[in-house]
Amino acid sequence: MFSAPHRQNHEHADVGAEPALCARSIATAAWAAAGAATGCLLCVMVARLVPGAGKGIPALWLGTLGLHGGSTAAAVVFLRRGSPFPWRIDLGVSGPALHLADIARAALIVAWVYPMVMLVTGVAAAVQSALGFPVRAAPLLQLARGQSGVLFWASLSMTALVVAPLVEEFLFRHVLHNAFTSARVRRPSLLCAFVFAAVHLTPYQLPGLMLLGLVLQRERERSGGIRRSILVHLLFNAIALGILAAIRAFDIELPDLSTP
């Protein structure tokens, strides 16, 4: 079993001083961005050409396949093409397996991070509304309105609890952070957190999701891989999904901030 510093160096073998390895990390992020753009463009075309594809379950999966699927597929294909490293290093999951202590630590982190993120998000929404800008529901809430049934909730659970934690941790905490580090960007963790928050497309969620992104990055750095950050991300999304289910089940009315 690696010690913490040794494990982290082993994990970041592809962001060392050698120019070729640094260029490889930057190129991987570029491929991921190109894959995301291509996937999103194809999904938009499908949504416009196929009746009903832009609503409900089809829209959920189209968005997931476009952004998450396109970027991940492009990054993995590039990384594994003639790679000198084992696949665990390329995918950021090298190191020891998760143990009960890791699960307990993740639960404790989420116990304080989730309320803090919600508090920051609420303050940001109030400020945005006070400044005269409409506060629209997050895309997930908009999608969930009027949706019900086992298939919808199974699809939502799959994307929130499996796809999002795995893919977003790989892309943001591993691929993008390696690229920023290789490019010698100042404060790469902060920049990764900003990009992570920005792709959720909800302005008032930006500060809270940046906080979450920084916490997830810290867990990646401390553990030497993305396994623990995946776990924290999964638990965070599980709480959000449970709250959303409760809102729907009990028909809870949320405050309307859509008009200033």
pLDDT digits (tens, 9 = 90+) for 185-202: 999 999 999 999 999 989
At position 65, the amino acid (one-letter code) is: L
Identify whether the C-beta of residue 106 lies closer than 8 Å to the C-beta of residue 205. no
Identify whether the C-beta of residue 39 lies closer than 8 Å to the C-beta of residue 70. yes
The two most distant CA atoms of the chain are separated, in Å, by 57
Name which of 7-16, 131-140, 182-191 the model is least confident about.
7-16
Is the pLDDT at 173 greater than 90? The verdict is yes
Is the pLDDT at 16 greater than 60? The verdict is no
In percent, how much of the chain has pLDDT > 90? 61
Comparison of pLDDT for 119 and 148, the residue scoring more: 119
259 band by pLDDT with thresholds 50, 70 and 90: very low
Would you state the pLDDT for residue 33? 96
pLDDT in tens, 214-248: 999 999 999 989 999 999 999 999 999 998 888 87
Is the pLDDT at 114 greater than 90? The verdict is yes
| Residue whose structure tokens are 């396949």 | 65
Is the pLDDT at 15 greater than 90? The verdict is no
Query: How many whole angstroms separate alpha carbon 13 and alpha carbon 17?
Result: 10
CA dihedral 209, 114, 179, 41 (to 10 degrees): -50
Would you state the pLDDT for residue 143? 73
Is the pLDDT at 110 greater than 80? The verdict is yes
Would you state the pLDDT for residue 18? 77
Would you state the pLDDT for residue 255? 54
Comparison of pLDDT for 70 and 97, the residue scoring more: 70
pLDDT in tens, 26-35: 999 999 999 9
Would you state the pLDDT for residue 5? 36
pLDDT in tens, 53-64: 878 888 889 888
Mean pLDDT of 86-97: 87
Query: How many whole angstroms separate alpha carbon 195 and alpha carbon 198?
Result: 5
Is the pLDDT at 25 greater than 90? The verdict is yes
Using only the alpha carbons of the chain, give its radius of gyration.
19
